[in-house]
Structure 1
């Protein structure tokens, strides 16, 4: 049982699909895909099963305008998205909740508590495809 914390800007920016023309729209599309994840067992980055109990997605900048779907807790970072991700991870870690943070940002990874599981955007996007949460056409 894990909480998935998603660096939405990092995941959206990992594919050159024109996201920069509509950051809020790109974030909404990702959030919509993430809404199917709670309660789902994913294949973790280490190959083992990861049952996601909750998804926390951090959005920043123009992406803060994205609508939040049911099933995803959206954190609208007032400033740095990295700061909001670290704060969310620390808050959840106090309760002893296993976390899986999705980001490719090395600087952010280094700020997380030791032992925090981390995966890159490619892993998340592949898992969303695998469980049938395809991007909108």
Structure 2
């Protein structure tokens, strides 16, 4: 199984489109785009933190699973990647955070930046 784990805060924050005015709405727009995207992944995990959690309910909708980080998103993202790798899945993480990237690579994930994902969605 191919799994894509997304640092939603990092992706939403990568384009200056007014996301800071309403993080929840910006995250909802990302979720809506993921729902209709033709990505080559069996499962997409969208990790939300802070104010973005109000934009999308936690749960599974089609191939997209939304999880709400109880605190900082990096820990939840790393836990998602570790669980998927432990299950034997091929995992790609999406973040531009250098420390998180190194952590995910250490867990055996490939890591791409937000621009890669946004290019897939455009």
State the TM-score, normalized to the length of structure 1: 0.81
Aligned to 1:127: 120
Matched positions, count = 118
* Structure 1 spans left out of the alignment, 5+ residues: 43-50, 130-137
What root-mean-square deviation, in Å, do the aligned CA atoms of Structure 1 and Structure 2 show? 1.4
The CA distance in 2 between the partners of 1:66 and 1:98, in whole Å, is: 28
Q: 1:91 aligns with which of 73, 79, 83?
A: 83
Q: Which runs of 4+ in 1 moved over 4 A?
A: none
Equivalences for residues 40-51 of structure 1 within 5 A: 40=38, 42=39, 51=40
* Structure 2 spans left out of the alignment, 5+ residues: none
Q: 2:53 aligns with which of 50, 59, 64?
A: 64
Aligned to 1:52: 41
Aligned to 1:25: 25
- Return the structure number with greater helix share: 2
The CA distance in 2 between the partners of 1:101 and 1:67, in whole Å, is: 20
The CA distance in 1 between the partners of 2:80 and 2:108, in whole Å, is: 16
Residue 109 in structure 1 maps to residue 101 in structure 2: yes
Pair member with larger Rg:
1
**Which deviates the most, 65-74 or 21-30?**
65-74
